[in-house]
Amino acid sequence: MKTRLKLTLYLLMFCSGTLYSQHFMSNSDLQDLKEVEESFERSHSADLLRNKFAIHEYKGKPCLSIVAKTQNGFTKQQIESYGGSVHQTINALATFNIPLGQIHQIKNLEHIEFASISRKLKPCLDRAVIDTHADSVHLGLGNLPEGYDGENVLIGVTDWGFDYSSPVFYDSLFQQTRILAAWDQYKLSGPSPQSFSYGTEFNTPTDLIQAGSDTSNIYSYSTHGTHVASIAGGSGAGTAYGGIAPGVQFLFVTFLVDEGAVLDAWEWMYQKSVEEGKRLVVNMSWGLYHLGSLDGNSILSSAISAYTDLGVVFVNSGGNNGNVNFHLKHSFNQDTIASRIEFYSYSANPNMWGQSIHSWGEVGTSFSNALQIKNSGGQIVAQSPYYSTATTNAYVDTFLTIDLDTIWYNISAEDSHPLNGRSQMRLRVKCTHGSYRVMFKSAASSGTVHNWNVTELSNDVGNWGMPFSTFGTGSLNGDKENGISEPSCSDDVISVAAYASGWTTPTGNTSGGAMASFSSQGPRYDGVMKPDIAAPGVSIGAAISSYTDASFSSVESIEYNTRTYHFAKLSGTSMASPMVAGVAALLLDAKPELSAADVKEILLLTAREDNKTGNLPEEGDPKWGHGKVDAMAAIREALDLNLDEIIATSSFKIYPNPVTDVLLIKELSEIDTQISIIDFTGRARRVSISNGVVNCQSLPSGMYSISFEYQNINHQLTFVKQ
């Protein structure tokens, strides 16, 4: 055992040298460049690299995707001279595709402020429409001058798994698709969009119908994008599962799961909105924790701010790690901490590699991290040295051995990251032996350090947290705080938390409405309050792609053009984000001259509080943000209507809601009167009510408003027929 431990310690001293010395890349990116170059030199093939890195084909050659902030004097010719391509977007940002055989030329690039390998990204209505009060906006209730459904507004969805043929993306008469255009960045047949050199663009109804759906990609034939877009603006196609803004047009981009691709997607969407002369809302139901700097200084954050200044509204899911203690924070004073790193099951995912511990310190302070391996009885059986951000300038890729078992780990670190000047370290560890307890140790003389434990997959898209937990005397538990992912932590994005929709019970009382346990909690680790707002995200019913090979439980289906289209209920902040994107579209429909900053300010100002949120502080809350999104209040604020003038609903309650057969109106049980039931198109149906009972069996599925006069007051209530 002594001989083996000595050998292990010797191996730990081996560190790979840095590939380049330029200051515009982090040490982690420099090592990844070295890995790409060496792998390609050995095999002359990109096959082994595609699973981990953003590799795209350009002019028949495999290229690595790079995102960068450029400086004055930068020219794209220096990339093109190496056989690559450049797409310049906004705010001096650019995406490069550099042939793998020319990776070494990166050291010769000039006028670059910061560059990074494109990191891969992952996908962080029945009752919900009512809960957000979007149904009242559709019907023009509350003294609105008219109903609003998002007409003349574009919602861009960057995602995977779009069904271009779904009837929920057609107009109410099923005659015209509301998909203005789609860009499938995976499809190689072309034609590519103008200004871009890859993927296939579909910009006519015929092209969309012939394509049917986007192609299989890293998520196979997914349905995430269809479900998200259906929530934001689906028509419901005659079901109760209509979206928030069913009058919008859509821009869909199936993007290549990396930063460079999504930057291109935003630019393509913006160009389309300018051509159409329409306002644009971009929904992003995805994110990552080791992308960017988690403090609003990332490249994607910079792009979002620049497009926001041009009027684009960005909405992003806040993350789904609110129920796991994956964050560990400590303010050091010449001390050391320890915590157990919990691992995701290796049998649960074929791409499981291990755990990624990403640590961020403060500007001007250093810290050191190490691994310690214990057996189930708590005895130390192996340990690494401490690696300091001040001295670990080279990439470390090594292992620990215990008898015949091997535990692999690698480290990249720096004392001043190019994006924000903070000390940072990323430690990745692989331990397939369940009998060992992998302990994370950290030490510093001063300063506060934040750590996140996130699952690391071999295809680089792991996005869920695993706990830091106690094991042995003096070890620490993690917590659920500071859990907002990139790019939802950007200053100008609207970051969305999720809660369960509320509804009316048979007794006429309101139920539900509690925060979803999975919804990630803020604030940002630099203290800035996130999330911004909350929306329904639990068991949200919406359309499913008819082309998907993913499993789901159908709650309803319809036949259209000889195909069957299903609806299913999914949960996540992925579902809450398009709720808010839809409300933003309603706002821009009602008042198109609003700036993007105005839209965000109004949504936060008018967010509602209730017995579930409690009284929220003015600066927002780490769980709820500024409260629950309220479409009616937001639009009344935008139109400068007096919120106190909303038409009275008195004590009348309707239930059950949604309804299948018989609707009861509480407090009208002894009154016979005539009421009007108004459907979404504005058509009124005169119905007699007896003893407070309304027979709804003959009504088609959808949203309705009840209007009646009682004691000289006009009352309006809304309900959904299933």
* Three-state SS annotation for 365-428: CCCEEEEEEEECCCCEEEECCCEECCCCCCEEEEEEEECCEEEEEEEEEECCCCCCCEEEEEEE
Clarify whether residues 577 and 615 are in a common domain. Answer: yes
Residue 633 domain flag? yes
Residues 137 and 279 both lie in one domain: yes
pLDDT tens figures, 186-201:
998 989 998 898 999 9
From the centroid of its chain, how far is CA 471?
33
How do 327-341 and 468-469 pair as beta strands?
Answer: antiparallel
**Are residues 520 and 598 located together in one domain of the fold?**
yes
What pLDDT, in 10s, does the model give residues 54-66?
A: 788 888 888 888 8
What is the average per-residue pLDDT within 398-402?
Answer: 96
For the CA atoms of the chain, what is the radius of gyration?
27
Rounded to the nearest 10 degrees, what angle do helices 573-590 and 631-638 cross at?
Answer: 30
Q: Peptide bond preceding 350: is omega within 30 degrees of 0, i.e. cis?
A: no
> In this structure, are 464 and 505 located in the same domain?
no
Average pLDDT over residues 89-93: 78
Q: How confident is the model at residue 626 (pLDDT cuts 50, 70, 90)?
A: very high
Tokens coding 459:
């295809």
Q: What is the CATH number of the domain that holds 343?
A: 2.60.120
Q: In 3D, which of 438, 416, 431, 436 has the Cα closest to residue 370? A: 438
> 374 pLDDT band (50/70/90 cuts)?
very high
- Tell me: cis bond preceding 191? Omega within 30 of 0 counts: yes
Mean predicted confidence (pLDDT) in 552-565: 91
Give the pLDDT score at 163: 96
Domain co-membership, 623 together with 675: no
In a domain, 210, yes or no: yes
Model pLDDT, residue 280:
97
Which span out of 51-55, 247-251, 343-347, 505-509 was modeled with the highest average pLDDT? 247-251
Summary mean pLDDT of the chain: 85
- Do residues 451 and 500 share a domain? no
The amino acid at 492:
D
pLDDT of residue 126: 57
- 679 and 577: one domain? no
Spatial CA neighbour of 296 closest among 25, 501, 484: 484
For the cut 80, the answer to whether the pLDDT of residue 551 exceeds it is yes
* Same domain? 336 vs 310: no
Backbone angles phi, psi at 170, to 5 degrees: -100, 170
pLDDT at 15: 41
Domain annotation covers residue 313 = yes
Percent of the chain with pLDDT over 90: 54
Q: 458 to each of 94, 397, 678, how far by Cα in Å?
A: 27, 16, 54
Measured CA to CA, the distance from residue 363 to residue 417 in angstroms comes to 9
- Looking at the domain assignment, is residue 483 inside a domain? no
Q: What interhelical angle do 596-606 and 573-590 show, nearest 10?
A: 110
Nearest to 428 by CA among 72, 20, 52: 52
Joined tokens for residue 140: 């023009």
- Does residue 404 form part of some domain? yes
Q: Which residue has the tokens 């047949």?
A: 189
pLDDT at residue 695 in the model: 77
Given a cut of 90, is residue 544 above it in pLDDT?
Answer: yes
What is the pLDDT confidence band of residue 290, given thresholds at 50, 70 and 90? confident
- Tokens 């009998």 — which residue? 435
Residue 711 lies in a domain: yes
Does the residue 615 lie in any domain?
Answer: yes
Maximum Cα–Cα distance for the chain, whole Å?
94
CATH number at residue 161: 3.40.50.200
Question: Which residue, of 88, 117, 146, is where some domain finishes?
Answer: 117
pLDDT in tens, 650-680: 456 666 766 777 777 765 544 555 667 776 5
From 602, 637, 672, the end of a domain falls on 637
8-state DSSP, 507: T
Average pLDDT over residues 258-265: 88
Sequence length of the chain is: 722
Q: Residue 220: what pLDDT?
A: 76
687 pLDDT more than 70: no
Answer whether residue 84 shows pLDDT above 80.
Answer: yes
> How far, in Å, CA of 575 to CA of 232, rounded?
9
In tens, the pLDDT along 567-625 reads: 999 999 999 999 999 999 999 999 999 999 999 999 999 999 988 999 999 999 999 99
For residues 223 and 548, the answer to whether their CB atoms sit within 8 Å is yes
CA distance 250 to 236: 15
Q: Are residues 515 and 556 located together in one domain of the fold?
A: yes
Average pLDDT over residues 170-179: 89
Domain hosting 563: range is 126-320+488-637
Indicate if 105 and 163 belong to the same structural domain.
Answer: no
- Answer yes or no: do 77 and 184 share one domain: no
Q: Which of 117, 134, 154 is the last residue of a domain?
A: 117
Residue of 11 and 149 predicted with greater confidence = 149
Confidence of residue 127 (pLDDT cuts 50, 70, 90): low
Residue labelled with tokens 């020219």:
75
Residue pair 296/316 in contact by the 8 Å Cβ criterion: no
CATH label of the domain that carries residue 58 = 3.30.70.2980
Q: pLDDT tens digits for 307-323? A: 999 999 999 999 999 99
Any idea which of 446-455, 515-524, 699-708 has the lowest mean pLDDT?
Answer: 699-708
- Per the structure, the count of domains in the chain is 4
**Nearest one of 149, 150, 231, 185 to 574, comparing CA atoms:** 231
Q: How far apart are CA 466 and CA 346, in angstroms?
A: 13
- 442-448 average pLDDT score: 98
Q: Is residue 1, in this structure, part of any structural domain at all?
A: no
Q: What is the pLDDT of residue 650?
A: 41
Examine the domain organization and report whether 514 and 658 are in the same domain. no
Higher pLDDT, 4 or 284: 284
